[in-house]
Structure 1
Amino acid sequence: MMTLQDIDWEHWTPVEDATLLFVIRGGRILLIHKKRGFGAGKINGPGGRIEPGETPEECALREVEEELRIRPLNVDYAGLLQFQFVDGFSIRGHVYRAADFEGTPVETDEAIPLWCETDALPFERMWADDPVWFPHLLAGRRFSGRFIFEGERMVEYRVVEEEEEFECET
């Protein structure tokens, strides 16, 4: 079985680069029920694949606008997640948080908006890695994580809190 130590993370290049952006305000977080694409059927944050020439933050903003028809405000970089699947697929996720937004979240072809209390998240309907890094996101700390998955099953992980000067790589 593949382990975290089997991967040369310094030279690791993901198949996909993507983003997630979470609006957190008033003790609640805006999630989505994903209707199609990677992770369809799961509860997650809005986000998606980075397009050529786009920065991770530009992608995060675009994806939220496409999926929920809102414009996030006061956006802050939160962390970096690296996922290696045993079947060879891999994805790097740049995670952002926003303190507010303009507009009204609406259902689209891609997502159904879902407000949740931050102390009652539906982890049973989310990816297996979410419970290990969400505490950092909700506490406003920067973090990074590395994960091995076999299908939807998390095999191994490591999540660490990062220093304030932490920079993401693209």
Structure 2
Amino acid sequence: MITTLCYIEKDNCYLMLHRNKKAQDINQGKWIGIGGKLEPRESCDECNLREVKEETGLDLVEAKCRGIITFVQNDGYTEYMFLFTSDSFKGELKECDEGTLRWVSKDELDTLNMWEGDRIFLDCLRKDLPFFSLKLVYNGDNLVEAWLNNEKV
């Protein structure tokens, strides 16, 4: 599966989605960025724009692809996620049917319930790393291995 995830920035905050509305949600109770699955014939950029619009009501003016994250489950399932950031958008926030949207201070991120691997790529964004590749290996909900640009983290 191929997905996108976008961290929208404003006033030293990220727009975060608390996944608390959908039943049978793999992200239930977690805080994540904005994103979703690519549709047929859609580019990663198009998916990012569409998902942000659908989930937030915002139109991105510009977005930058910052890296690719490979998620691997011990059962062999693999997901490739293109990670974006944007600080250029227009429109008004709307209610999201997948969870609660909230602007969260970057200093507060470490206090949120999120996937352990998300903390690694958020740190890459915090350090303003150039385009990076991150491989995260999970056994269920537990991160068991992480590789950043082919170096074990």
Task: Tell me the TM-score normalized by structure 2.
Answer: 0.87
Letter in 2 for 1:66: E
Counterpart position of 1:57: 45
Deviations 1:15-37 (A, max 9, x none): x1000011113211111112334
Give, as a single letter, the amino acid of the residue that structure 2 aligns with 1:22. Answer: Y
Residue number among 72, 80, 85 corresponding to 2:60 in the alignment:
72
Q: Aligned partners of 1:31, 1:44: CA distance in 2, in Å?
A: 6
Query: 1:88 Cα shift?
Result: 2.2
In structure 2, distance between residues paired with 1:123 and 1:50: 30
Change (3 A) 1:152 1:67: same
Match of 2:149 in 1: 160
Aligned to 1:20: 5
Deviation at 1:123, TM superposition (A): 5.1
Per mean C-alpha deviation after superposition, the further-off stretch among 65-74 and 148-157 is 65-74
Q: Whole-Å Cα distance in 1 between the matches of residues 77 and 111 of structure 2?
A: 23
Cα separation, 1, equivalents of 2:90 and 2:13: 16
Residue 81 of structure 1, CA deviation: 0.1
Structure 1 counterpart of 2:140, from 143, 151, 157: 151
CA RMSD of aligned residues (A): 1.7
Q: Could you tell me which amino acid in structure 2 is paired with residue 72 of structure 1?
A: L
Q: Within 2, Cα distance between the matches of 1:138 and 1:74? A: 19
- For these two proteins, the number of residue pairs brought into alignment is 146
2:15 alignment partner in structure 1: 30
**1:3 equivalent in structure 2:** none
* Structure 2 Cα separation of the partners of residues 73 and 122 of structure 1: 28
User: Cα distance, 1:41 vs. partner?
Assistant: 2.2
Alignment check: 8 A CA contact 1:21 1:45 kept: yes
Cα offset, 1:111, TM superposition: 2.8
Output the TM-score relative to the length of structure 1: 0.79
Which structure 1 segments of 5+ residues have no match? 1-15, 162-170
1:64-103 paired onto structure 2 within 5 Å: 64-103=52-91
**Mapped partners of 2:105, 2:27: distance in 1:** 22
Question: Aligned AA for 2:132?
Answer: F
- Tell me by how many angstroms 1:122 deviates: 4.3
